[in-house]
Amino acid sequence: MDRIRFDAMDKNWSVKNSPHHFHPRFELEGYFSPMTGDPKVDIPKLVEFIKSHILEDSKHRFH
């Protein structure tokens, strides 16, 4: 799929900050996400990710 998604809707992914996870472009697998669920913290992060184009790299993984 040609989409990028951060979500916390399921617990199917074995990530250290479950249920928050990240689906990179063209990937169905869920990976670690730096998101916390707090919009005041997460929206500025998302804006920076968009501006830096880091999300366009389907191989990018957050640590």
Phi/psi-derived region of residue 53, left when phi > 0, alpha when psi is between -120 and 50, beta in every other case: left
List the chain pLDDT tens, one digit each, 63 residues. Answer: 688 988 887 777 777 778 888 989 998 888 999 999 999 999 999 999 999 999 999 999 998
Rounded-to-integer distance, Cα 55 and Cα 49, Å: 6
What does the pLDDT read at residue 10?
72
pTM above 0.85, yes or no: no
